[in-house]
């Protein structure tokens, strides 16, 4: 019986965990059988105004299936690494776990440590590959099942699957697509890896692109940028960290938008104007190249609303420079 330990934290890691738990799915039957001996996730956090303890999506999923959950914190601590080794697992599967595993941990299971990464490696290594694919205007992205080594997403790849990026995809919607694709790719790759019929492919470091963890400050809109780039930012940062500007000292979040491609806007970047689209009034904000047409937005302290509704209540924004 193959002993598996699964490590993950956010929603992205949930479909693959379910695929492992519901092992009767096509392609997941291993000759020797397997069991999930425990699920490892990050420690609980306090969230919301009430500072209530919030369980990670992976923890909630594991508990709903009565799978043991372990939340040890950092595996750089020797006592945690030794406790992990005591499980005598044959394979670790990792998906958006949220910490870099030391080599002493990676070397513990006889079948190694597999990682479900949300890009077509070596493109977009690091913590934020989904956001980066949208920001760069890529037409496709995908999932890579890789064998973790001591580097950051530098290990050899077992399998890749692609998915198109639509013009309406946000960080939220593309995460859902890739989470499901991750589960599918794991179902295909895992049996082949265990029986030894899949050969890991070393990555070509010449084509490596690295990403970084986004901060709330990254969402502030620079109106000097072209409208097309800002429209991608709005999608890439939805739902987090969000894209925002300021008006009259209050934060103004841009929820949905699209670029209006003219070579040069007639007004200074950040100037709010009105445009008619399909019989509706929308905000058209001047940028470094073209206009960003805002469809939905939210003023600090208010609910989100359509641009047409916003203009009825805050028409004085027209002609003013944001940010």
Whole-number Å distance between alpha carbons of 231 and 260:
10
Q: Over the stretch 291-309, which tens digit does the pLDDT of each residue have?
A: 999 999 999 999 999 999 9
* Cis peptide leading into residue 116 (ω within 30°): no
Residue 26: predicted pLDDT: 45
Q: What is the CATH number of domain 2-207?
A: 3.40.50.170
Whole-number Å distance between alpha carbons of 118 and 123:
10
Q: Does the pLDDT value for residue 31 go beyond 90?
A: no
Phi, psi of 290 (to 5 degrees): 85, -170
Which part of the chain has CATH 3.40.50.170? 2-207
Which pair of structure tokens corresponds to residue 42?
Answer: 């990050």
Residue 264: predicted pLDDT: 55
CATH topology of domain 216-317: 3.10.25
Contacts 24+ apart (CB under 8 A), 308-311: 308/280, 308/281, 308/282, 310/283, 311/274, 311/281, 311/283
The model's confidence at residue 184, banded by pLDDT at 50, 70 and 90, is very high
Residue 109: predicted pLDDT: 98
Q: Over the stretch 120-160, which tens digit does the pLDDT of each residue have?
A: 999 999 999 999 999 999 999 999 999 999 999 999 999 99
Q: Over the stretch 262-277, which tens digit does the pLDDT of each residue have?
A: 655 578 999 999 988 8
Q: Over the stretch 58-115, which tens digit does the pLDDT of each residue have?
A: 999 999 999 999 999 999 999 999 999 999 999 999 999 989 999 999 999 999 999 9
Whole-number Cα distances in Å, 226 to 84, 114, 270: 49, 40, 11
Coil, strand or helix: which one is 63?
Answer: helix
Distant-in-sequence, close-in-space partners of 24: CB < 8 Å, separation ≥ 6: none
* Cis peptide leading into residue 226 (ω within 30°): no
What average pLDDT does the chain have?
Answer: 93
Which pair of structure tokens corresponds to residue 113?
Answer: 């440590």
Whole-number Å distance between alpha carbons of 114 and 149:
10
Percent of the chain with pLDDT over 70: 94
Which part of the chain has CATH 3.10.25.10? 216-317
Whole-number Å distance between alpha carbons of 144 and 243:
29
């Amino acid at each position: 019986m193959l002993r598996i330990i699964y490590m993950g934290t956010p929603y992205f890691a949930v479909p693959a965990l379910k695929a492992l738990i519901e092992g009767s799915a096509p392609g997941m039957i291993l000759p020797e059988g397997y069991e999930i001996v425990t699920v490892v996730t990050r420690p609980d956090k306090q969230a919301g105004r009430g500072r209530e303890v919030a369980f990670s999506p992976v923890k909630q999923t594991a508990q709903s299936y009565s799978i043991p959950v372990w939340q040890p914190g950092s595996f750089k601590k020797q006592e945690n690494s030794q406790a992990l080794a005591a499980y005598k697992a044959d394979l670790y599967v990792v998906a958006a776990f949220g910490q870099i595993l030391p080599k002493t941990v990676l070397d513990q299971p006889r079948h190694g440590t597999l990682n479900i990464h949300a890009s077509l490696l070596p493109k977009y290594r690091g913590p934020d590959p989904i956001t980066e694919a949208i920001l760069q205007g890529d037409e496709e992205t995908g999932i890579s099942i890789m064998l973790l080594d001591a580097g950051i997403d530098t290990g050899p790849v077992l399998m890749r699957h692609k998915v198109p990026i639509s013009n309406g995809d946000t960080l939220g919607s593309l995460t859902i697509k890739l989470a499901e694709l991750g589960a599918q790719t794991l179902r295909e790759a895992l049996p082949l890896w265990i029986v030894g019929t899949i050969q890991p492919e070393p990555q070509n470091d010449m084509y490596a692109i690295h990403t970084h963890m986004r901060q709330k400050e990254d969402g502030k809109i620079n109106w000097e940028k072209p409208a097309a780039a800002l429209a991608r930012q709005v999608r890439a940062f939805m739902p987090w960290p969000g894209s925002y500007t300021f008006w009259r000292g209050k934060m103004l979040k841009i929820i949905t938008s699209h670029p209006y491609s003219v070579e040069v806007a007639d007004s200074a970047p950040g100037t709010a104007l009105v445009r008619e689209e399909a019989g509706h009034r929308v905000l058209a904000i001047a940028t470094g190249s073209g206009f960003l047409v805002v469809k939905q937005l939210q003023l600090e302290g208010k609910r989100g609303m359509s641009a047409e509704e916003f203009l009825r209540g805050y028409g004085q924004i027209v002609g003013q420079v944001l940010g």
